[in-house]
Structure 1
Amino acid sequence: MSKPYRLGVLHGDGIGPEIVPATVTVLDAALRAAGVEPAEWTELPLGAAAIETHGAHTPQETLDALGELDGWLLGPHDSVAYPQPFRSQLNPSGVIRKHFDLYANVRPAKAFPGGNAVVPGTDLVIVRENTEGFYADRNTFAGTGEYMPTPDVAVAMGIITRAATERIARTAFELAMQRDKRVTIVHKANVLRLTTGLFRDVCREIAAQYPDVTVDDFHIDAMTVHLVRRADRFDVIVTENMFGDILSDLAGEIAGSLGIAASVNSSDTHAMAQAAHGSAPDIAGQDAANPIAMIHSGAMLLEWLAGRHDDPRLRDAAARVEAGVTSTVTGGTSTRDLGGTASCSGFTQAVVTAIENA
């Protein structure tokens, strides 16, 4: 692309207005260092602030604008604190994922050298199917898939389809080909034989198209134990929606902190960088948040854009972000959750300095 990349900024709630601008600052520094024209950033309303100004946590004008952009950064939201009826609606990230069919949620967990990882050497990626499964807000075209026939009975549908499983499996195997060529399928086919059994079997079918990739599979309950004991032995893990959500939070803590848990949500045409953690309202406004997860999510967005637009400069910029964060942490500067004393803004500036001096 000869013109600047157009990227959206959705601050969200809680610590979002701190960690999202921090990410913009770091990405701008990395783009400059990689010789890329500065991005054109577009701030759009979302979350509690949007309820106040637009009467909706995810205004239609925001969705329309996002569709015209190359990608965007989404800050965390605190939807449980929204007033009714907004609290009971599909949350902002769910609305955006559903609107743009962002079917792949890719969540890495990588320990920093010398950090406080439970399993040092952890370097894995969880590839989570993002549109169906056992989360009621994502598995139907209309409605939530969750209902109560009586006040004392609650029912939720879990949906697994061949089409959705095939595309997430391909995402996982393509990623594995760029890494250590190992994929682990996580399911619960011993109990949920038809649903997660279909997920496991379709993943196995796709695996046959990637003979260079080593494949194994585990039940979800066994997988939690394996992660705690030996997370460093896994490479790419592919699973359905709810299992992926649980495993990625666990893997983030095993790697050192949820504050470093990055992710990108993508379809074939759109991508959204979103930290895997929540809005942390208890520390909002204190300049104490760890911005690493959001910064790394931004780097993942650059990687995705590099592939989509065949622009190696963006891959270079993403690598500069990763290197800047790593050298900052290993050099002794980190936020409280990683055992350091740096503020969010102080850590951000240290990363920018590391990128500029590399």
Structure 2
Amino acid sequence: MRLVVVPGDGIGPEITAATMAVLRAADMRFGLGLAYQEERAGREAMARDGTSLRPELFQAVKAADGLVLGPVDSIGLGDPSKGEINPSAFFRRKLDLYANLRPARTYPGVRNPLSRDFDLVIVRENTEGFYADRNMEEGNAELRVTPDVVVSLRRITWPCCERIARAAFRLAARRRRKVTAVHKANVLRKGDGMFLEACRTVAKDFPEVTLDTVIVDAMAALLVRDPARFDVVVTTNMFGDILSDLTAELSGSIGLGGSINAGDRYAMAQAAHGSAPDIAGQDRANPISLILSAAMLLAWHAERTGNNAFASASGAIERAVAASVAAGESTRDLGGRLGTAEAGRAIAARVAAS
């Protein structure tokens, strides 16, 4: 498996180094044959290359089997004509990474706001919706009509609704066989109405999986009240973006939330959080989100290729994270005393011994 690795900005290089230590341990333990190509993007690339994302990087990612993208400081990267390209949004669109999978679960040893256990996955449509950089072939979908009026357009299409629904049902069939479609069809009748129709159509191909539907504002309340009732939650782009941050925090920390952006041919592992420049270089950042994201990338590769060694490695990383957290071998935000590098080494040691 050939991986392009982009450490990114802020805490990115630190958590990426910890993630690489875990991947190398998994490679040795399971004989994965991983090969790495490190590249730059974001602020460092902007300073050195005059653009935050060189064309050569895109070609390298297209030729690889996966991308590990560290957090990038995207504030101010708003004018592509000046080389200011947001790498995350660029890869999601150009590689058609239509499924953003965001698991959220509780861990023994980590206090969570609810004091109860849950294990769910948000499956977020990733390529259209209200995101102005993803729903137009050319230009931007936010229009300033007059100096004090802005109109934002949302694109919803049947093919995108159908394929994200199918991704959710495939995942649920391997889990607890329940899909919850989250929507606002009581107000957004045409767009979210189409989304619900697509979910119900796909459900007919998965008779073993139960489908229910929840309005998004009620869903936010239900997640706080009883998240354990949910298994796989599928929704449109912006709703999924918001709800996945909520579920990550409900698990105890957004630093525990893995995230993968996947399509039919390409996939990108990406931490669920930002670049946190205020703690960069202090060996304080929690590396678990990117480590779990890398584990998800291995699982995606296993499903795509049928190579069970990658699935075994992914499972071993997930178990090692849980064991390390339970043992207090974690960073201070989770109640531990380790720095970023040492936390990564602790997880890598458990993978090697698995």
Q: Settle same-fold status: TM greater than 0.5.
A: yes
Deviations 1:95-135 (A, max 9, x none): 11111111111110011123112233221000000000111
Note the 1:160-171 alignment, pairs <5 A. Answer: 160-171=156-167
2:92 pairs, out of 93, 97, 113, with: 97
The answer to whether the Cα contact below 8 Å between 1:262 and 1:297 also exists between their aligned partners in 2 is yes
What's the % identity of the aligned pairs?
49
Task: Identify if the C-alpha distance between structure 1 residues 87 and 327 changes in structure 2 by more than 3 Å, giving closer, same or farther.
Answer: farther
Give, in whole Å, the separation in 2 of the partners of 1:89 and 1:148: 21
Note the 1:38-53 alignment, pairs <5 A. Answer: 39-53=34-48
Deviations 1:68-110 (A, max 9, x none): 0000100111111559778995521001111111111111001
Note the 1:114-133 alignment, pairs <5 A. Answer: 114-119=109-114, 120-133=116-129
SS of the residue aligned with 1:79? coil
Give, in whole Å, the separation in 2 of the partners of 1:310 and 1:86: 41
The answer to whether the Cα contact below 8 Å between 1:123 and 1:235 also exists between their aligned partners in 2 is yes
Deviations 1:311-342 (A, max 9, x none): 00001111111111111111121112212221
Corresponding position of 1:258: 254
Task: Identify if the C-alpha distance between structure 1 residues 164 and 282 changes in structure 2 by more than 3 Å, giving closer, same or farther.
Answer: same
Deviations 1:217-276 (A, max 9, x none): 111100000111111111000000000000000000001101011111011000000111
2:74 matched to 1:73? no
Tell me which moved more, 85-94 or 151-160: 85-94
1:188 pairs, out of 180, 184, 187, with: 184
Corresponding position of 1:296: 292
- In structure 2, stretches of 5+ residues that fail to align are none
The answer to whether the Cα contact below 8 Å between 2:100 and 2:126 also exists between their aligned partners in 1 is yes
Give, in whole Å, the separation in 2 of the partners of 1:9 and 1:273: 10
2:277 matched to 1:281? yes
Superposition TM-score, scaled by structure 2 size? 0.96
In the comparison of the two structures, how many residue pairs are matched?
353
Shift of 1:356: 2.1
Corresponding position of 1:231: 227
2:327 pairs, out of 327, 331, 348, with: 331
Deviations 1:19-76 (A, max 9, x none): 1121111011012111322x11001120001111221111111101100000010011
Give, in whole Å, the separation in 2 of the partners of 1:57 and 1:340: 35
Give, in whole Å, the separation in 2 of the partners of 1:86 and 1:246: 29
- In structure 1, stretches of 5+ residues that fail to align are none
Give, in whole Å, the separation in 2 of the partners of 1:154 and 1:140: 17
User: In the alignment, residue 74 of structure 1 is paired with which amino acid?
Assistant: L
Give, in whole Å, the separation in 1 of the partners of 2:112 and 2:231: 17
The answer to whether the Cα contact below 8 Å between 1:100 and 1:270 also exists between their aligned partners in 2 is yes
User: In the alignment, residue 15 of structure 1 is paired with which amino acid?
Assistant: I
Give, in whole Å, the separation in 2 of the partners of 1:83 and 1:301: 28
The answer to whether the Cα contact below 8 Å between 1:13 and 1:77 also exists between their aligned partners in 2 is yes
2:102 pairs, out of 84, 103, 107, with: 107
2:336 matched to 1:340? yes
Corresponding position of 2:9: 13
The answer to whether the Cα contact below 8 Å between 2:53 and 2:85 also exists between their aligned partners in 1 is no
Task: Identify if the C-alpha distance between structure 1 residues 294 and 314 changes in structure 2 by more than 3 Å, giving closer, same or farther.
Answer: same
SS of the residue aligned with 1:98? helix
Corresponding position of 2:316: 320
Q: Quote the RMSD (CA, aligned, Å).
A: 1.5
The answer to whether the Cα contact below 8 Å between 1:80 and 1:87 also exists between their aligned partners in 2 is no
2:153 matched to 1:157? yes
Shift of 1:10: 0.8
Deviations 1:282-306 (A, max 9, x none): 1111110000000000000000000
SS of the residue aligned with 1:189? coil
